[in-house]
Amino acid sequence: ASRNFDVLRSPVICVLGHVDTGKTKMLDTIRRTNVQLGEAGGITQQIGATRVPAEALKERCRKARNFDPDSVKIPGFLIIDTPGHESFANLRSRGSSLCDVAILVVDIMHGLEPQTIESLKLLLKRGTPFVVALNKVDRLYGYESNPQKDIYQHLKAQSSNVQLEFKERYEKIVTEFAENSVNVALSNQNKNTDEYVSIVPTSAFLGDGIGNLLAYIVDYSQDKLAERLAFCTELDCTVMEVRSLPGLGTTVDVILLNGTLKRGDIIVLTGTEGPICSEIRDLLMPAPLREIRVKGDYEHYASIQGAQGVKVLAKGLDNVVAGLPLFVCRRSDELEVLKADAQKQLEKALTSIKKKPEGVYVQASTLGSLEALLEFLKSQKIPYSNVNIGPVHKKDVQKAAAMLDRNAEFACILAFDVPVDRDVQQFADRENVRIFQANIIYHLQDNFINYREELRL
Ligand code: GTP
Ligand code: MG
Ligand code: NA
């Protein structure tokens, strides 16, 4: 494997933070999309990825004073969006483990919140560099927005009341970070980025400060991470999500950090039932500035070089485990070694999906949300006997019906964000299998808790 210091790959940037701090809105403003508006319950429940090409970065960074667009050497950013809702700790952990740099979004009106601190701990544990976006500055009373300006110049032009409120809230948040052993400083005043984490004031909603934030990450990546970002031919590819899509079946979304994936490559992945070996049928990516988790027109590729977020199409991906490497077998004598490597990863993986002989049946559209549901069930001491990714079919109902003879309470399916056709529902009614369906995770959790309480009466 060779490293090429003249060719930098895109840094992978993970956006983390408490629920509703504005992570998705920030990406919407960068992309000029409206993904957040289309989310069920206004919350993110899947991990996502968006590539931001260098041209778009240059254009958006122009607003930051002293930023030289000609200095951009990286081909762009690959940005990973994560959910802030507490149920999705698995996806925050996965996103933060896949990235080179993180953006920790904090709501200036709320300060540090439980999932801010959870995210902070993940970053500190892994030593991942990060920048804090101090978001929703437009909510300072009397704030006047101007997304075209450098945020620091613009703050100086605000009324004295706005400046005072900013200072008070900022200082309170500095103290909260200090209580978590993190020193922070505004990015324009930070002389020592090894000791102090930079903060950039932003309005994800209106766009103020977003240029400063992106410019800071461009400079930081090129100055501090150049070695890490030197393109390497050795494959470094991790499964980010396993997703069932209409017409495509089970697909895997991978973060290809280094190396190249090609159509026809023989891949080896870890599956719950053992190593999976398959051939890449197609490689898909959304257009630039589009989100991989939003169903849309994907572009087809014969070959893709990292760093990119890629949807891999191949047969037999149903039992793939997320968060683990995808290997490519280049020579036939490698295959057994790679399978053994994939098998080794399995033990770690199986602890998160440990089934019981008696328990409920759980189905979800993605592995990430399935894992989140399983964590919830564990916390409630509710066992699960079977899991599946994708729409509910009659065979799922049949499997769930097997519980009627063992423990009728468990003869039910928890179906998150997956369709249940009318004939399947009718079949379930005849078989006495309850199907709980929801597209907001805490609704499903609440419905099931209510059902359990009813049974106890
Ligand atoms: P989760 O993914 O559910 O954790 O939330 P999130 O962090 O992605 O936040 P999201 O983008 O869903 O925004 C939450 C709410 O805050 C939405 O109603 C946004 O319109 C609003 N919001 C986000 N950023 C800003 C901001 O800068 N200013 C104001 N006033 N509102 C904002
Ligand atoms: Mg979101
Ligand atoms: Na939200």
Q: Ligand 1 centroid vs 23 CA: distance in angstroms?
A: 6
Closest atom, ligand 1, to C-alpha of 202: 27
Q: Looking at the annotation, which residues are catalytic? A: 85
Residue type, 3: R
Measure 18 CA to ligand 2 centroid, in angstroms: 9
- Looking at all shown ligands, the one closest to residue 105's CA atom is 1
Rounded CA-CA distance 3/441 in Å is 43
Q: Which residues pair with 308 in a beta bridge?
A: 256
Pair of tokens at residue 215 = 């410019």
The rounded distance, in Å, linking the Cα atoms of 18 and 37 is 18
pLDDT for residue 1 = 63
Pairing assessment for the beta strands 249-258 and 327-329 based on DSSP bridges:
unpaired
Bridge-partner residues for 160, per DSSP?
none
User: 327-329 and 384-389 as β-strands: parallel, antiparallel, unpaired?
Assistant: unpaired
Which ligand 1 atom minimizes the distance to the CA of 17?
A: 7
| Ligand nearest, relative to CA of residue 113 | 1
Distance of CA 203 to the CA centre of its chain: 21
Residue among 15, 25, 79 whose CB has most ligand 1 atoms within 8 A, to mutate: 25
| Protein residue with least CA distance to atom 3, ligand 1 | 43
Within 10 Å of residue 39's Cβ, how many Cβ atoms?
17
Alpha carbon of 285 to ligand 3 centroid (Å): 25
ipTM of this predicted structure:
0.99
**Mean pLDDT for back-to-back runs of 10 residues, the chain (457 residues):** 83 98 98 96 97 98 94 97 96 95 98 98 96 98 98 98 98 98 98 97 98 98 96 95 92 97 97 93 97 93 98 96 94 93 75 83 93 92 92 96 94 96 98 96 93 82
Ligand closest to Cα of 103 equals 1
Q: What is the pLDDT of residue 457?
A: 63
- Whole-angstrom CA distances from 219 to 3, 101, 135, 192, 214 are 21, 12, 21, 14, 9
Q: If DSSP codes are grouped into helix, strand and coil, which group holds residue 143?
A: coil
Interatomic CA distance for residues 21 and 105, integer angstroms: 6
CA distances 385 to 273, 418, 442, 451, Å, are 15, 19, 21, 18
The stretches of 225-297 forming alpha helices (DSSP H) are 226-229
Ligand 3 centroid from CA 176, angstroms: 23
How far is residue 404's CA from residue 396's CA, in Å, rounded to a whole number?
14
Mutate which of 20, 37, 91, 105 for ligand 1? The one with the most ligand atoms within 8 Å of its CB, which is: 20
- Report pLDDT for 349: 63
Q: Give me the pLDDT at residue 348, please.
A: 63
Residue with tokens 């980025």: 193
Distance CA 369, CA 441 (A): 8
- Whole-number Å distance between alpha carbons of 311 and 254: 6
Q: Which residues of 136-171 are buried (b: 16+ CB within 10 A; e: fewer)?
A: bbbebeebeebbebbbbebbeebeeebeebbeebbe
pTM score, two decimals?
0.94
For atom 10 of ligand 1, the residue with the nearest CA is 22
Q: Which atom of ligand 1 is nearest to the CA of 204?
A: 27
Q: Ligand 1: residues whose CB is within 6 Å?
A: 17, 19-25, 36, 42-44, 83-85, 135-136, 138-139, 203-205
Inter-CA distances, 315 with 206, 207, 320, 444, Å: 44, 42, 11, 31
- Distance, CA 346 to ligand 2 centroid (Å)? 30
Distance 91 CA to ligand 3 centre (A): 15
Atom 5 of ligand 1, nearest CA residue: 20
pLDDT at 351: 63
For 55-114, how does the pLDDT look when each residue is reduced to its tens digit (9 = 90+)? Answer: 999 999 999 998 999 999 999 999 999 999 999 999 999 999 999 999 999 999 999 999
Residue nearest to atom 32 of ligand 1 (CA): 205
Protein residue whose Cα sits closest to atom 22 of ligand 1: 22
81 CA to middle of ligand 2, Å?
7
- Substitution site in 205, 440, 442 for ligand 1 pocket (most atoms within 8 Å of beta carbon): 205
